[in-house]
Copies of this chain bind each other. A is one copy, B any other.
């Protein structure tokens, strides 16, 4: 019987990581450092350079590394899915335990399901989405209903400098958790058990829940073992996602639209006229979706940064550089939830429509 290459016994988990930007490369480093995973990284634009030279990393969590590589670097998910046998006389499918997705969330341009399909094993592979937005797990759950789907809300600060340098300035702090049911974007359905009594079905559901929790626990344990600053396993990951949206759906979007940095939007009073009303809209959507956030969080989120903060939000950088923005998962999906649950979102509505015009302009440039 053929065995897979480079899979020592202590690298118990086979992990495929897709999207090796600033966030993804540090995640691949953490997972490899844990000693618990064999990490295959799927790179696209950087494949050639990194497969030859590796990554040069300057990290607040991991120090300086020169020419670092995960266990395997490949140019596509299809390539990741197949390994040659040790004997070199053939190839075989790799069964991944975890597929970690760190790409930008662009459902129209770069949907996750076809991206990860080659590396997924139904009923086995756990998907870990380290991405922005709301409702991002729905299409994964729909495509692989028996697999575990987790997501991470990351506060890491990390970016890429050409051609192969990763600079991590903000510590790797994140929350992770399992998506047990349909998200707030999809109307929750009371899925009646296909057979058996209510008690039997409930026992079955509890078993499934425990199994999913165990997979998440193993991943988070591995992630902490790899030297991440802190990774917390939480029960309600959707609440954590709504909490992060208080920032991403407000500062990120309005700073992009008005071409302002954080300090400017604050000094202009745009925080009071626009951001706070939007934050409360998000707070009320989260509440209506049964992921209530603390009352105090809005004030804290709005006033935590100083008025001379020159931070330029990621969507502003995308807009300035005519790169696609994560608009649909950051405002589009939350607005679908709001509509379904009857929550008023007058400010978000208009900001969304204005940013759709900006997205259209970026699209035109891309298609020229």
Interface residues of A (CB under 8 A from B): 254, 257-260, 264-265, 267-270, 273-274, 346-347, 349-351, 353-354, 356-358, 360-361
Instruction: Tell me whether A274 and B350 are in contact (CB under 8 A).
Output: yes
Of A267, A346, A354, chain B has the most CB atoms within 10 Å of the CB of A354
Instruction: Tell me whether A257 and B260 are in contact (CB under 8 A).
Output: no
Of B268, B274, B354, the residue contacting A258 (CB under 8 A) is: B354
Instruction: Tell me whether B257 and A356 are in contact (CB under 8 A).
Output: no
Of B254, B347, B354, B360, the residue contacting A274 (CB under 8 A) is: B354
Q: Which of chain B's residues have a CB closer than 8 A to the CB of A268?
A: 356-357, 360-361
A347 to B254, CA, bound (A): 15
Of B350, B354, B356, B357, the residue contacting A346 (CB under 8 A) is: B350
Q: Which of chain B's residues have a CB closer than 8 A to the CB of A260?
A: 357, 361
Number of copies of this kind of chain in the complex: 2
Instruction: Tell me whether B360 and A269 are in contact (CB under 8 A).
Output: yes
24 interchain pairs (CB within 8 A)? A254-B357, A257-B257, A257-B354, A258-B357, A258-B358, A265-B357, A268-B357, A268-B360, A268-B361, A269-B356, A269-B360, A270-B353, A270-B356, A270-B357, A274-B350, A274-B353, A274-B354, A274-B357, A346-B346, A346-B350, A347-B350, A350-B350, A351-B354, A354-B354
Q: Which of chain B's residues have a CB closer than 8 A to the CB of A351?
A: 350, 354
The smallest C-beta distance from A318 to any residue of chain B, in angstroms, reads 15
Nearest 9 A/B pairs, CB to CB = A350-B350, A268-B360, A346-B346, A273-B353, A270-B357, A258-B357, A268-B357, A274-B353, A347-B350
A358 to B354, CA, bound (A): 14
The smallest C-beta distance from A308 to any residue of chain B, in angstroms, reads 13
A357 to B266, CA, bound (A): 10
The smallest C-beta distance from A344 to any residue of chain B, in angstroms, reads 9
Q: Which of chain B's residues have a CB closer than 8 A to the CB of A258?
A: 354, 357-358, 361
The smallest C-beta distance from A37 to any residue of chain B, in angstroms, reads 45
A361 to B260, CA, bound (A): 8
A361 to B269, CA, bound (A): 11
